[in-house]
C-alpha cells in the first residue's frame, strides 16, 4: 500500500497563517495607501503552496522507497472569482508547476521551455524546497507576495522545529 509523507513542520496551518498575514497586509496597505500594496491594480489573487511529498512503499526491512512529488499544501483566493478578469487560479497553478519543474524561475518566463497550455506569466518563488505560485496582480507583485508567504512559512516552520520535543530532546529521528 502506498504511503504519503509530508513535511513535519511546514503544515497546512502554518501555510494558512502565512496566507492570512499577507491578506491582512494587502487589505491594510490598499485601504491605507501604503506602498507597495497601494500600487496593486486589483485585489483579486490566487495563491498555491507546493511542498515535496514522499510517496511510495517500504521494502521488506521497513526502509522507505519513496519518490518526491509536488503536493498542494494550500490554495487560497481573494476576490470574487465570478468577477475575475482572468482565471487567476489556473494561472497560479501553472506558474507553480513551471517553477517546481525549473521551467520558470519565478521572475522570468523562459519561452524556450513553455509547453502547450502553459502560462507565459511569471510571479512566484521556489525557496528552500517549497514553491509558492501567485496570480492576480502585476507579475512583480505576484512574486513579492509569493516571497513573503514563503518566508513566513519557512520562519514559522523553523520556529516550530526549534520549540519541538524532537529538537529539545535531541532525538536521532523525528517521532
Alpha-carbon span 30 to 84, nearest angstrom: 18
Average of per-residue pLDDT across 56-78: 85
pLDDT, residue 156, reads 97
* Domain assignment present for 159: yes
pLDDT in tens, 109-160: 788 989 999 999 999 999 999 999 999 999 999 999 999 999 999 999 999 9
Asked if residue 1 has pLDDT above 70, the reply is no
Structure-model confidence comparison of residues 32 and 80, the more confident one: 80
* Domain assignment present for 173: no
Which three cell numbers, joined as nine digits, stand for 26?
494587502
Number of Cβ atoms within 10 Å of the Cβ of 91: 21
Predicted model pTM: 0.91
* Domain assignment present for 103: yes
Peptide bond into 36 cis (omega under 30): yes
Residue with cell 508567504: 149
Average of per-residue pLDDT across 39-62: 88
How many independent structural domains does the chain possess? 1
In this structure, what CATH number is given to the domain that contains residue 149?
3.30.450.150
Average of per-residue pLDDT across 39-61: 89
DSSP characters for 100-169?
HTTSB-SSSB-GGGPPTT------EEEETTEEEEEESS-HHHHHHHHHHHHHHHHHHHHHHHHTSHHHHT
pLDDT, residue 108, reads 79
Amino acid at each position: 500500500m502506498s504511503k504519503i509523507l509530508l513535511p513535519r513542520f511546514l503544515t497546512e496551518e502554518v501555510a494558512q497563517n502565512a496566507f492570512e498575514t499577507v491578506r491582512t497586509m494587502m487589505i491594510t496597505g490598499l485601504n491605507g495607501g501604503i506602498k507597495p500594496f497601494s500600487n496593486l491594480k486589483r485585489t483579486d489573487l490566487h495563491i498555491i503552496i507546493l511542498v515535496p511529498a514522499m510517496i511510495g512503499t517500504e521494502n521488506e526491512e521497513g526502509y522507505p522507497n519513496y519518490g518526491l512529488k509536488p503536493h498542494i499544501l494550500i490554495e487560497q483566493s481573494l476576490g470574487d472569482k465570478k468577477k475575475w478578469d482572468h482565471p487567476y487560479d489556473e494561472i497560479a497553478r501553472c506558474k507553480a508547476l513551471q517553477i517546481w519543474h525549473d521551467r520558470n524561475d519565478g521572475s522570468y518566463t523562459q519561452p524556450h521551455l513553455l509547453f502547450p497550455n502553459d502560462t507565459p506569466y511569471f510571479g512566484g518563488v521556489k525557496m528552500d524546497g517549497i514553491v509558492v505560485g501567485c496570480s492576480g496582480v502585476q507579475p512583480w507583485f505576484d512574486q513579492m507576495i509569493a516571497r513573503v508567504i514563503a518566508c513566513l512559512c519557512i520562519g514559522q516552520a523553523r520556529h516550530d522545529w526549534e520549540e519541538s520535543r524532537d529538537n529539545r530532546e535531541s532525538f536521532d529521528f523525528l517521532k
